[in-house]
A and B are shown apart, each in its own frame.
Chain A
Amino acid sequence: MKDILTIAKITFIGGRRDKVFLTLIIISVLIFPLIIFAISPLSMRQVREVAVSLSLSTISIVLLILSIFLGINLVYKDIERKFSHTVLSLPVSRQSYLIGKFIGLAGIIGVGVITLTIFSSIGIAIVDTMYTQNTVMSWTNFYAAILFDYLSLLILVAVSILVSTISTNIFSPLFITLAVYIIGYISQTVYDYIISPKGVELPKFIGIISKAVYYIFPNFTLFDIKFKAIYGIHLEINNILNVTAYSLLYLVILLSIAIVAFRKREML
């Protein structure tokens, strides 16, 4: 356990000192005043709703870039530049190395999440006081939406770690992680179509492939509760627990496969 935390700490420091991380966070923090004072008021009636929507979208995009970039940068490049060789020649198991890497990455993305959440919350709170609102702001839903975003991105980080452990070039982790993200967002729509009356008429193999993709790939639409945060729609606690359990299950599966693959990898 101590080894895992040692690796996590080093990974966290690496992420924190990464210029891309710092630049992205600074830029996105600067975007919030723009959203609050320039873009949201343009909607006239739903200023706060627009502010919430744009803030959540900004957080999503920034964290997506961050997750993919750091996920690949801190694992694939670790192997490519032979930093991992140095670590693995120490009494650190490959399992501890990968889990430590994941925890470190989750930590640094978590810092990004907290920073963006603080700034967006301040912005939304300002909008909420400046303009008359018809509804009450649901901060629970707002934070749950960000938490769900974070969980979905952790799955993506696990995907990038898994691909990095078996890949011999930087493009595979990049494209496969992006592909998983896109598939994860469209598989629900495709599945719904396949089981609809029109979908049943399609060739059988398309149905089989679509269902296989639906069940194998993580379903990211489950994590998208932005509309509930924007409009303050009631969010059931069971929903939060189920999605959290779903993400944890995926993380365990992905990291387990990554560990098995990494144990077999020769550090040439």
Chain B
Amino acid sequence: METAIKTEGLSKTFKGKKGTQVNALIGLNLEIQKGEIFGFLGPNGAGKSTTIKLIMGLIRPTSGSFSVLGLTVSSDEYKKHIGYLPENPSYYDYLTAEELLHFVGSTFSMETTEIEQNSEHLLKTLDIYESRKRPIKSYSKGMLQRLGLAQALIHDPEIFVLDEPMSGLDPIGRILVRNLILELKSKGKAVFMSTHILNDIETICDRVGIIINGELKRIVKIKDILEKDIISYDITFSSTNNEPEILNTFKGQFSKRVDTFNLKILPQDLTKILSNISKDKDITLHLIQPERKGLEHLFTEIINEK
């Protein structure tokens, strides 16, 4: 796979008050591939936005470097390959959505007809087409976020840098954006997104980098988290018998609902219980749900390592 973004020892130190220094980012080594959704996770002030601002050329690194599509960054030209959504999108609010997209498209040297076609498609996809002639200042937070995504997508770049893409979106908007990001991946685009929302990372990301106090603590594959680290199973079944035998056989937590039983068992007991259930004619199995350590557990674990 082709490397989309690569950072090597990327560091940023800010000068604080009274000569103090704040290490916002310390020696970040990261490689994001095309066709991958990479989540960047960390608490507030961890260095996520600093990393993104460095990549977008809004601030300069104290040391280290980064490359985009294998090209060392020397001018602003590399930005032509990136679609960027800032954390709190702030656009010329006297413009309409149409005008903004036209402006952004122009900076990418797009033809007017291409801009118009892409704008219409994106505004419709993101469900803000009806508001396209309204000044941006009248937009809600969610609409601004959708518009931000539209301007990041207008030139169909190879790489997307999205800072909190789900921020301010309603549930429908979140599903829409989630599907959009997955569609980008299917087209072989690279998506580098920062977020606080663990569920979003678990649902759409391929890998996640966890950053704390400017240091990248760990990079993990979401697949690994989801496939491994099962701590228990929740088994839901119903029985014609009010006190099924199985509850006495297995040491676990059980609870009774109106017409079903719920049993929480250890992973090693799963095969045995399934065998017992299959033998017991009174029992009807409804659901087996694994409970994982998950990203939340991993994140908390890393935070506590401090």
Q: Which residues of A line the B interface, CB within 8 A?
A: 2-3, 6, 9-10, 13-14, 17-18, 81-83, 85-93, 266-268
Contact = CB atoms under 8 A, between A and B. Distances in A.
Interface centre among B57, B58, B78, B89 (most CB of A within 10 A): B58
Contact of A2 (B56, B57, B86, B106): B106
B75 to A, nearest CB: 7
Nearest to A9: B103
A266 B58 contact: yes
A85 B88 CA distance: 11
Contact of B107 (A90, A266, A267, A268): A90
A92 B95 contact: no
Given A91-B80, A93-B76, A266 B99 contact: no
Closest 5 CB pairs of A and B: A267-B58, A82-B90, A91-B79, A90-B107, A89-B56
Interface string B89-101: 1111011000100
Contact of A83 (B56, B92, B99): B92
23 contacts: A6-B107, A10-B95, A10-B103, A13-B94, A13-B95, A14-B94, A82-B88, A82-B90, A83-B90, A85-B90, A86-B91, A88-B57, A88-B58, A89-B58, A89-B79, A89-B84, A90-B79, A91-B76, A91-B78, A91-B80, A92-B76, A92-B107, A93-B76
A260 to B, nearest CB: 14
A2 B94 contact: no
B94 to A, nearest CB: 5
A87 B106 CA distance: 12
A18 B92 CA distance: 12
A93 B88 CA distance: 22
Contacts of A85: 58, 86, 90
A90 B104 contact: yes
B221 interface: no
Given A17-B94, A89-B86, A6 B80 contact: no
Contacts of B91: 83, 86
Nearest to A87: B107
Nearest to B77: A91
B62 to A, nearest CB: 11
A86 B86 contact: yes
A268 B75 CA distance: 20
B304 interface: no
A71 to B, nearest CB: 17
Contacts of A267: 53, 58-59
B109 interface: yes
Contacts of A82: 86, 88, 90
B24 to A, nearest CB: 10
A87 to B, nearest CB: 8
Interface in B49-67: 53, 56-60
Nearest to A85: B58
Contact of A268 (B59, B86, B109): B59
Given A10-B103, A91-B108, A86 B94 contact: no
A86 B95 CA distance: 14
B232 to A, nearest CB: 45
A6 B56 contact: no
A92 B57 CA distance: 11
A2 B108 CA distance: 10
A81 B93 CA distance: 10
Contacts of A89: 56-58, 79, 84, 86
Given A13-B95, A90-B107, 19 more contacts: A2-B106, A2-B109, A3-B107, A6-B107, A10-B103, A13-B99, A81-B90, A83-B92, A85-B86, A85-B90, A86-B86, A88-B56, A91-B76, A92-B76, A92-B107, A266-B59, A267-B59, A268-B53, A268-B59
A86 B89 contact: yes
A158 B174 CA distance: 44
Contacts of A17: 94
B130 to A, nearest CB: 22
B75 A93 contact: yes
Interface centre among B56, B76, B77, B95 (most CB of A within 10 A): B76
Contacts of B60: 266
Contacts of B53: 267-268
B112 to A, nearest CB: 12
Nearest to B152: A89
Interface centre among A6, A88, A91, A266 (most CB of B within 10 A): A91
